[in-house]
Chain A
Amino acid sequence: MSSKLQREIGHDEFDPKGTLALIAIYFVIISALWVFMYFVEFLGNDLTIVGTIL
């Protein structure tokens, strides 16, 4: 655990904009994958179970 501490950043000065950027990208990827998986892979597949006998 070498510390190459160049400066100290306190609670009020810290602005996690990098985290926001990364997590926004993640949000987009996850949403797109969900839509693809549900509407293309699942609903686009054969023999979907549509009812049980009552």
Chain B
Amino acid sequence: MNIHTYEKFWLAAAMALIVGFILTITYGTVGIGVAMVDDSGETINPENINEHPEFSSPGVEQVGENEYDVYIQVVQFAFLPTEVEVPANSTVNLHLTSRDVIHSYSVVGTNANTMVIPGEVAEVTVNVDEPKEYGVICTEYCGSGHHNMEGKLTVLPEEEFEGGSQ
């Protein structure tokens, strides 16, 4: 097969780009430690969420010196609890599931973004630094009230945080 020299250059350059992209993503994973949402959460029956030991009382709970678990039920058309408060400089483990349809939990202006699928529990961990207020929205169409679905994630100065709400 006759491949022109220039097209061979381009083929090499294209492969270099592709490999470069793959290597960058890999660096993000192993170098920086970015983790994808995956199947480490349990499966759950959406109809029995209120019998689940943790999801039945959603909210923030301290589980370590600077570590907090947050359980959130996501429903048409709200996040329960709607407002989540955590202290600055801590590790926050979010656990999310849906009582009805597919939603998302997306912290606006950040990389904290996960799908929330009925039957599955989504578990993600973020490190929060300085105090800040973030809006949270659902970005996966979930029905006629989808555009009203809004919540809040507040990182409080450590002195102001009062041990969790449940």
Q: How far is the CB of B15 from chain A (nearest CB, A)?
A: 12
10 pairs of A and B residues whose beta carbons are closest in the complex: A47-B110, A47-B112, A46-B110, A51-B125, A48-B111, A20-B6, A49-B124, A47-B126, A52-B40, A52-B123
Q: Are A48 and B34 in contact (CB under 8 A)?
A: yes
Those of A10-54 within 8 Å (CB) of chain B: 11, 16-17, 19-20, 23, 27, 30-31, 34, 38, 42-43, 45-54
Asked whether, in the complex, the Cβ of B17 is within 8 Å of the Cβ of A53, the reply is no
**Most A Cβ at <10 Å: residue of B34, B114, B134:** B34
Give the contacting residue for B125; candidates A17, A42, A53; CB below 8 A: A53
Q: Are A53 and B40 in contact (CB under 8 A)?
A: yes
A31 engages B20 (CB within 8 Å): yes
For the complex, give the distance between the alpha carbons of A46 and B153 in Å: 13
- Interface of B, helix, strand, loop or mixed by DSSP: mixed
Size of the B side of the interface (Cβ < 8 Å), in residues, is 37
Which A residue's beta carbon lies closest to that of B39? A52
Interface residue count for A (Cβ, 8 Å)?
A: 23
Report the separation of the CA atoms of residues A30 and B21 in the bound assembly, to the nearest whole angstrom: 11
A52 near B17: Cβ-Cβ < 8 Å: no
A53 and B110 contact, Cβ closer than 8 Å, known pairs A16-B4, A16-B6, A27-B17: no
Contact (A34, B109) CB under 8 Å given A47-B128, A48-B126, A50-B125: no
Question: Are A43 and B28 CB-contacts (below 8 A) given A23-B10, A52-B125?
Answer: yes
Residues of B within 8 A of A17 (CB): 6
Q: Mark B13-24, 1 if CB is under 8 A from A, else 0.
A: 100010011001
Seen from chain B, the residues whose Cβ lies within 8 Å of a Cβ on chain A are: 2, 4, 6-7, 9-10, 13, 17, 20-21, 24, 28, 32-38, 40-41, 93, 95, 107, 109-112, 114, 123-128, 132, 134
Q: Which residues of chain B have C-beta atoms less than 8 A from A48's C-beta?
A: 32, 34, 110-112, 126
Alpha-carbon gap, A50 to B21, bound state (A): 20
Contact: A46 with B13, CB < 8 Å? no
Q: Determine if A52 and B38 form an interchain contact, defined as CB atoms under 8 angstroms apart.
A: yes
Which chain B residue shows the least CB distance to A38? B24
